[in-house]
Amino acid sequence: MYSIKVEGNFSSAHNLRGYKGKCEDLHGHNWKVEAVVCSNKLDKIGMVMDFKLIKKALADILEKLDHKYLNKIGYFKKVNPTSENIARYIYDKLKPRIAQLVSVTVWENPTSLATYDEK
C-alpha cells in the first residue's frame, strides 16, 4: 500500500458548547490539517496522485474555514466544532473530490490533534 500526505493550514475561532472550562469561551487556533491518500498501485508515471491536485482540493475547503467563527458555519451550528468534528467535516468535503482519501488529521496546537477516517 502506498500513501501520500499533504498539509494545509487555516486560522479560525470557535467555542465549544456544553464544555466546562476555558474552551467554552470564544478562542482561536492556527489549525494544521493533513490529508492522507492511499492506493495499492501507482499510475502510469509512478504516482498515487499528483500532490498539487490534493493540495488544491484541500485549499478550497480550508479557504471556507479560514478567518471564520466556526460556530456560525451552517454545519457547526448543529455539530459542536471540536477538533474531532472539524476533521470529519473536512474529510466529508474532501472525499468526493479525492476518492482514495483515507484520513484527515487536524492539529489545534503542536501537541493536540484529532483524526477522522472510515476504518
Known catalytic residue: 108? yes
Q: Which of 7, 23, 24, 27 is catalytic?
A: 23
Return the residue matching grid coordinates 487536524: 106
Q: Which of 7, 14, 67, 118 is catalytic?
A: 67
Known catalytic residue: 23? yes
Known catalytic residue: 29? no
In whole angstroms, how far apart are CA 72 and each of 14, 49, 68, 77, 110?
9, 34, 8, 6, 25
Catalytic site residues?
A: 23, 67, 108
